[in-house]
Structure 1
Amino acid sequence: MKKEQVANCQFSVWYPLFKKHTIKSLILPLPQNVIDYLLDDGTLVVSGGTEHTQHSRNNNSDSEEEADVQWSDDETTTVVTAPEFPEFNLKVQEAINALGGRVFPKLNWSAPQDANWIALNSSLQCQSLSDIFLLFKSSDFITHDLTQPFRQCSDDSLDPIINYELVLRKWCELIPGGEFRCFVKENKLIGISQRDYTQHYQHISKQETSISFSIQQFFWEHIQHKFLNEDFVFDVYRDSTGHVWLIDFNPFGEVTDSLLFTWEELTSETSLTSSHTEECTALQDGPAFQYTTSDVTVQPSPCLSYRIPRDFLDLSTGEDAYKLIDFLKLKKGQQEEEESSEDEAEPPVPSV
C-alpha cells in the first residue's frame, strides 16, 4: 500500500468521478481551529449547538475559549465551555438543510463508526454540528485520519499534503443486509464480502448468484479502469430492486477491514476464485463471494472493543435510576466498612 494510493481514496478525490452513482454529498473545508478542537484530548465538551452558542456568547463574551468560573459562598465551581465556531457552524447547518436535514458525517477517509454507541439510538445520523462533534471527538477512526493516515504505507516518501474536509452525506436508511465490500487487485474484482458479518441474512444465500452478478456488472460498467488505483477496495449497496449504488472507496491494505476474508488470502498469488469453504462460495469465472451462512457462523462486531460498559453509560447519564441507587448504596456501604476498620485499628487511649 503506497501513500499515493491512500491519498487517491480520499472522498473529495473520487466523488467527482462517480457522483452520479453514489449518494448526494457536500464537502466543506475543515478550518485549522476545528481540527485543533477535534484533537484536543481534554474534557469532552461538545461545541456547535445553537442554544449553547448563544449562552456562551452572553456569559463569556470576553473570551469564547476560556472557562467560566462561578463563585458561591462555600466553593468555587469551574464550568468548562467549548470553543465556538459560528461561521463554520452556519456553513454546516446550511449544508445539512440542503441535504434534507439529516446527514451521515465523515472525514477524508473514515466515518466515526466506532463511536455510534455514544450517539442517540446508536446512530450516526446527525442534524447539527454538535451531533457531528460528539461523534468525531469520541472516534479513534477520526483521530487516525487526522494524525496518521499513512502509518501503514510501505514507501518512505514524504507524506502528501492533506487538506482535511468534512463530508456530509444525505442520510439514507440502508438495510445492513444489502451492503457489500469488494476487493480489486490489478483492476480485477477478486472478492466480495458481506459487509455486516455480525448477522445472518437468509436472502444473501438465496440470491447469491444474482447479487454477485449485479455487483460484477456494476464494476465492469462504472468502476473498472476508472478509479485512480489498480488495487483498491470499494463498498456498494444493492437495493431491493437489484440496483447497485457506490458507497465508498478504501485502500487495498490492512488499514481496511478485510471482513470475512484475510489479507493473506487477498494478497496471495493464488486466485480466490479457486477456493471453496463453508462460508465462501466461488462462482465460476467470478470473484469469491463470502458471507455468513448461518447463525452459528455469526461473528462479533469489531467496533465492540471501542465501547464502554452499558452500566457505566447508564450511571453517567442517569438513564437508569435503579442502577444509580444501587451504586450509591454500594458506595455508602464501602464507606461505612472503611470507617469501621479505621475505628478498630486505632490503639486504645492509655489511662492516666
Structure 2
Amino acid sequence: MKKEQVVNCQFSVWYPIFKKYTIKSLILPLPQNVIDYLLDDGTLVVSGSDHNTQQTHTNNSDSDAEEDIQWSDDETTSTVTAPEFPEFTSKVLEAINALGGRVFPKLNWSAPRDANWIALNSSLQCHSLSDIFLLFKSSDFITHDLTQPFLHCSDQDSPDPVFNYELVLRKWSELIPGGEFRCFVKENKLIAISQRDYTQYYHHILKQEEQICQAIQEFFSQHIQYKFLDEDFVFDVYRDSQGRVWLIDLNPFGEVTDSLLFSWEELTSGGEIAHQQEGPAFRYTNSEVTVQPSPCLSYRIPRDFVDLSTGEDAYKLIDFLKLTKSQQEESEEEEEEEENAPQ
C-alpha cells in the first residue's frame, strides 16, 4: 500500500466519481483551529452556540446558562475554556439541515465507529456540531486520520502527499448491519467478499448467499470496475431489502483496512483466493456458534485499565500497587481494632 493509494481513497476523491450510486453527502473544509481543538486533550465538548447547545442552556438553571464551560486539568492545574467556531458552526448546521436534520459524520477516511458508545443513543447519528465533536474527540480512528494517515504505507521514505482535511456529512440512512459487505479488489478483479458485521449471525445471508454474491458482482462490473483511480482497493456496499446494491465507502487495499473474515496474507498472495474458484470468495458467519464479540468493544475500556493490564505505563502500575498496599494496611488495622475492642 502506497501513500498515493491512501490519498486516492479520500471521500472527496471518490465521491464525485460514484455519486449516483451512494448516499447523498456534503463536504466541508476543516479549519486549522478546529483540527487543533480535536487534537487538544484539555477540552471535550465545544461551547459553541449551535441549536442543540442553545436548547440545553435554556433548560438549565440561569446560573448554569450564564457561566462559560470550563475544564480543569488536574496535572497542570490550568483552566481551559472550550472554544467557539461561529462561522464553521453556521456552515455545519446549514449542511445538516440540507441533509434532512440528521447526518452520519466522518473525516477524509474514517468514521468514529469506535466511539458510538459515548453517545446517549449509542448511535453515530448527529443533529449538531456538538454531537459530531463528542464522537470525534472520543475516537481513536479520527485521531489516526489526523495524526498518522500514512502509518502503514510501504513508501515511508517518500514525503507525505499534500492534502486538506475535510468534514464529511452524509444523509442519515437506517442501514441494517446484516446488509453490509466488504469487497476486496486486486488488479481490478473482485477477489473476495466478507460479511461486514461478522460478529453476528444473519440467517438471511445463509439463505441468499448466491443472490447476494451475484448482485455484488454485477454492481462491481457495471459501476465500479476500471472507474477508480487504483487497481487495488477495498469497497463497502449495502444490499437493501429490494436487492439493490449501494456503495458505502472506499478504503485502501492494505493493513490500515480491516480484512474482517479474511487475512491480509490471503488477500495479498497473488490473488490465490480468486483462482480457487470462478468468482470471488464469499465468507460470512454461518452459525450462531461462531458469533464473536465486536472488536470495537475494546475501545469502551478506560485507557488507565488498558495501561495497567498491559504494563504500558509503569507509573500507573506503581501507583496502583501503592494504593492496593495502602488499602490492605487499612483493612488489617481495622481488623486489629475490632479484635482489641472491649466486648
State TM-score, norm by structure 2. Answer: 0.81
1:21-42 Cα distance to aligned partner (Å, 9 max, x none):
0000000000000000000022
Q: Report the count of equivalent residues.
A: 302
Over aligned residues, Cα RMSD in angstroms?
2.8
**In the alignment, what sits opposite 2:30?**
30
Deviation (angstroms), 1:338: 3.7
**Residues 36, 212 of structure 1: CA spacing in aligned structure 2 closer, same or farther, 3 A cutoff?**
same
- Of 219-228 and 38-47, the range deviating more from structure 2: 38-47
Shift of 1:285: 1.2
Counterpart check, 1:304 vs 2:309: no
**Amino acid in the other structure paired with 1:33:** N
**Secondary structure at the residue paired with 2:174?**
coil
- Local SS of the residue matching 2:243: coil
- Unaligned 5+ segments in structure 1 are 70-76, 276-283, 313-333, 346-352
* 1:81-140 C-alpha deviation (Å, 9 max, x unpaired): 310111111110010000000000000000000000001221000000000000000000
Task: Please tell me whether the aligned partners of residues 49 and 129 of structure 1 are also in contact (alpha carbons under 8 angstroms).
Answer: no
Does the 8 Å CA contact 2:45/2:130 hold for their aligned counterparts?
no
Q: Which residue of 2 aligns with 1:341?
A: 333
Q: Measure the CA separation in 2 of the matches of 1:213 and 1:340.
A: 69
The answer (yes or no) to whether the contact 1:48–1:128 under 8 Å persists in 2 is no
Gaps (5+ residues) in structure 2?
58-63, 306-325, 338-343
For 1:162 and 1:25, the matched residues in 2 are separated by 20
CA contact (8 A) 1:187 1:224 kept: yes
CA 206–43 in structure 1, closer or farther in 2 if over 3 Å, else same: same
Q: CA deviation at 1:297?
A: 1.0
Counterpart residue type for residue 165 of structure 1: E
Change (3 A) 1:261 1:133: same
Match of 2:174 in 1: 173
Partner of 1:125: 125
User: 1:88 maps to what in 2?
Assistant: 88
Per the TM alignment, residue 178 of structure 1 is displaced from its structure 2 partner at its CA by 0.3
- For 2:17, give the aligned amino acid: L
Q: Deviations over 1:216-240 (max 9, x none)?
A: 0000011000000110000000001
Distance 1:161 1:294 in 2: 46
2:177 and 2:279 map into 1 onto residues whose CA distance is 23
Write the distance in 1 (CA, Å) between the matches of 2:45 and 2:172.
25
Q: 1:343 to 1:5 in 2, by over 3 A?
A: same
The aligned counterpart of 2:270 is: 269
The Cα of 1:48 is off from its aligned counterpart by: 3.7
AA partner of residue 333 (structure 2): S
- State whether residues 109 and 145 of structure 1, in contact with CA within 8 Å, keep that contact through their aligned partners in structure 2: yes
Structure 1 length as normaliser, TM-score? Answer: 0.79
Find the counterpart in structure 1 of residue 283 from structure 2: 290
Between the aligned partners of 1:34 and 1:6, the Cα distance in structure 2 is 23
Q: Note closer, same or farther for the CA distance 1:186–1:273 as it changes in structure 2 (3 Å cut).
A: closer
Q: Post-superposition shift, 1:59? A: 5.1
Partner of 2:147: 147
Work out whether residues 45 and 81 of structure 1, in 8 Å CA contact, stay in contact via their aligned partners in 2.
no
Name the residue aligned to 2:18.
Answer: 18
Distance 1:47 1:289, change over 3 A: farther
Flag the structure with larger Rg.
Answer: 1
Q: 1:152 to 1:268 in 2, by over 3 A?
A: same
Aligned-partner Cα distance in 2 for 1:114–1:68:
24
User: Is the CA contact (8 Å cut-off) linking 1:104 and 1:171 kept in structure 2?
Assistant: yes
Shift of 1:300: 1.6
Q: After superposition, give the CA deviation of every residue in 1:261-296 in whole Å (9 maximum; x if it has no partner).
A: 000000012521355xxxxxxxx5110000000011
Amino acid in structure 1 at the alignment position of 2:300: R
State the secondary structure of the residue aligned to 1:180: strand
Residue deviations 1:162-190, cap 9 Å, x none? 20000000000000000000000000000
Whole-angstrom distance in 1 between the partners of 2:237 and 2:267: 19
Q: 1:120 aligns to what SS in structure 2?
A: coil
